[in-house]
Structure 1
């Protein structure tokens, strides 16, 4: 099992640079179940609690689990709901009684799970008629601001640069490439394999975020493979002096390379990264499946 997103540094970057989930995502996913509050929600792989925040108002009780104590600490610090409990747990062994849960949610994490075991656990803990809701997103569309030339072309090239960076750190690692492919393909295979009835999916566009190139760099550094890639490179260079190692790591830092390529593409090499502005648009997709009555 791969265990990313657990260090303190990547937890902080994830909180700061990843998009929040739009409230309409929860409303859309629960559209057939919002006549009254549901009793019990289990959020699996909760991270810093971003998804819990949009689903919690629809339930009387919420338990959110994650294997990372750093992520759970972040989630507890930002929690505003008295009926939400965060605790350590894993997807292959859900901490709930049989037939006890109205809904299970998974935000941007299902591709990391041992999915056959997770589906068995979902079938066990969901009440008859209960629902599994999974959702995620991929790399953003970047639209440069205050450019009078070919915005469409600049947007296409800039978006592709950050898209390529999303999976840069895992290239050549076949198991990780397979995991990443699920997100990039909007869970098309996962939709087919989910063993629940009445499956449906939605595409939801978030509101745009105003970013600078500093935000782009932070977003790249929040990607799970980035930190592991940089640590591996530091280990490979351990025989060099500290000064030589730092200089080499700076050259290998692909978050810096992304910023440089965007500056070149958008014709703003001389500008400070904080002054290069853009709109970042994330497109979310949602899958809902129901357990038979």
Structure 2
């Protein structure tokens, strides 16, 4: 991988409208669950102690997940290439001591050598140039430090109204494949398969690495419905880029859900859903 992905246009997350839409449409569970899983895993391997050590959160975005992680560390640094996102993170400061935010790319971290105990990156690794990002991780980590990369992708949609209705899984995977295939055509060869994590895992050069894959149903609030779910994904820059090419697999999926459940005449906002995600965690020790 010789160049960073261009799936997300350079200015995508510097557009105020994009930033606000993304922040407002993202369900809290999308932050809470990944943070919980990460902290649980860090505790299992003895990397979380009561408010001690230094955490670096790469691709921190609006900083909300960063602050949740920061509750477990003495010093936390969030970095993101989007100046608009970092501005939002700083403006949303809740006076939590020991947290700072910086504009920076994953491939060139403004961090001192051997100064970080834990690196986290959520929904970020597949957008980086791993040939540059991984050496940066090694440079800034203290001896014995670890990096933990996380992402998830939807795998099933279930009815929140009637358990007897069919589980939607095949159309979901087809949508993801369409998105990744179109993204690959436009940008980077790493977007070539539904099993994106396999590509990234194989490409990481690290002495001790492991990968954990689970299916989890996200416990979302009562407002989570087919309409709000689809609006969230519509606001993702990668999806906006794909739609520019005339491909709209998300709309096809929404219609497939309605057809499968015989709800063609119902408004998407009136169809309550449960969502199962495949979560992927890569641990570098």
CA distance in 2, matches of 1:21, 1:192: 28
Match of 1:37 in 2: 51
CA distance in 2, matches of 1:170, 1:34: 35
Match of 1:17 in 2: 26
TM-score normalised over the length of structure 2: 0.81
Contact 1:186–1:285 (CA<8 Å) still a contact in 2? Answer: no
1:70-99 alpha-carbon deviations (Å, 9 max, x no partner): 322333344433322122100111101111
Q: Which runs of 5+ in 1 are unaligned?
A: 234-251
Q: Which runs of 5+ in 2 are unaligned?
A: none
Match of 1:107 in 2: 122
Contact 2:114–2:139 (CA<8 Å) still a contact in 1? Answer: yes
Distance 1:28 1:198, change over 3 A: farther
CA distance in 2, matches of 1:196, 1:38: 25
CA distance in 1, matches of 2:240, 2:135: 32
Match of 2:267 in 1: 272
1:155-209 alpha-carbon deviations (Å, 9 max, x no partner): 1xx3333443345455444364733347x42623433443333323334535332
Distance 1:198 1:99, change over 3 A: same
Distance 1:11 1:100, change over 3 A: same
Contact 1:171–1:177 (CA<8 Å) still a contact in 2? Answer: no
SS of 1:138's partner is: strand
Q: Indicate which of 257, 269, 276 corresponds to 1:281.
A: 276
Aligned: 1:194 with 2:204: yes
Contact 1:166–1:223 (CA<8 Å) still a contact in 2? Answer: no
Distance 1:258 1:111, change over 3 A: same
Distance 1:168 1:223, change over 3 A: farther
Number of residue pairs matched by the alignment: 266
Match of 1:52 in 2: 66
Distance 1:148 1:120, change over 3 A: closer
CA distance in 1, matches of 2:197, 2:252: 29
Once the two structures are superposed, the pairs formed by residues 171-182 of structure 1 within 5 Å of their partners are: 171-172=181-182, 173-174=184-185, 176=187, 178-181=189-192
TM-score normalised over the length of structure 1: 0.79
Contact 1:165–1:258 (CA<8 Å) still a contact in 2? Answer: yes
Q: Indicate which of 149, 152, 177 corresponds to 1:134.
A: 149
Contact 1:56–1:84 (CA<8 Å) still a contact in 2? Answer: yes
How far is the alpha carbon of 1:116 from its aligned partner?
A: 0.9
Contact 1:105–1:134 (CA<8 Å) still a contact in 2? Answer: yes
1:188-240 alpha-carbon deviations (Å, 9 max, x no partner): 3433443333323334535332521212321330333321234455xxxxxxx
CA distance in 2, matches of 1:193, 1:126: 20
Q: Which has the higher helix share?
A: 1
CA distance in 2, matches of 1:170, 1:189: 13
CA distance in 2, matches of 1:264, 1:278: 15
